Amino acid sequence: MNIILASASIRRQELLKRLVSDFEIIVSDFDEDTIKFYGSCSEYVMNLSKGKALDVVKKAEKDSIIIGCDTIVSIDNRVLGKPKDKEEAINMMESLSGRKHEVYSGITIINTMTKEVVSDFSCTSVEFSELSKEEILRYVESDEPYDKAGAYGIQGKAGVFVKEIHGCYYNVVGLPLNKLRGMLKKMGVN
């Protein structure tokens, strides 16, 4: 069966290669602003991932398994998406400094042949060390924060800020592999 990843994320593409050797990439044009946050991070990321996957269903040219995914960072019941500018990236890093936060990824898989739709999520707790203003500014100047939820990538330069992690590391990178593997197996994809 044809497999489609509904994401432009290089990190997700690299991770999916660990599970599936051959897949197609069709980038979703889903407007994430149409999904409102009502206090449940798990519901929010599952709705985002479902929106992305459903958008790609319209673009798929043959029967496929479509994988949609979205990742957010949450602290103090606030959602931290991708920072829009330097100031927002600095504010996000300051709010994470010396504290625990949660990273949520929602996954939706759609089988276009059977019309089966399955959504789930993964949550990982991450604790940052205390960061100095200089460390934050140096990191933000690296341009690494701008395409990442919460303004950081655990697999990149910000990995040195991580004091402790509880849960799936790959969830923090953007694609919880073990969760996805289980979901695919339940849909008959080995």
pLDDT score at 20: 93
Q: Is 76 a catalytic residue?
A: no
- Residue ranges of the chain with per-residue pLDDT less than 50: none
pLDDT score at 22: 93
Tally Cβ neighbours within 10 Å of residue 36.
Answer: 7
Task: Name the residue among 99, 55, 54, 51 with its Cα closest to residue 73.
Answer: 99
pLDDT score at 189: 87
- In the set 22, 33, 63, 70, the catalytic residue is 70
Q: Which residue has the tokens 């043959």?
A: 62
Residues 140, 61: Cα–Cα separation, whole Å: 40
pLDDT score at 29: 94
Task: Look at the chain and report how many structural domains it folds into.
Answer: 1
CATH code of the domain containing 144: 3.90.950.10
Q: Which residues contact 112 (CB under 8 A, 6 or more apart)?
A: 57, 60, 63, 64, 65, 66
Q: Which residue range forms the structural domain that includes residue 112?
A: 2-186
pTM: 0.94
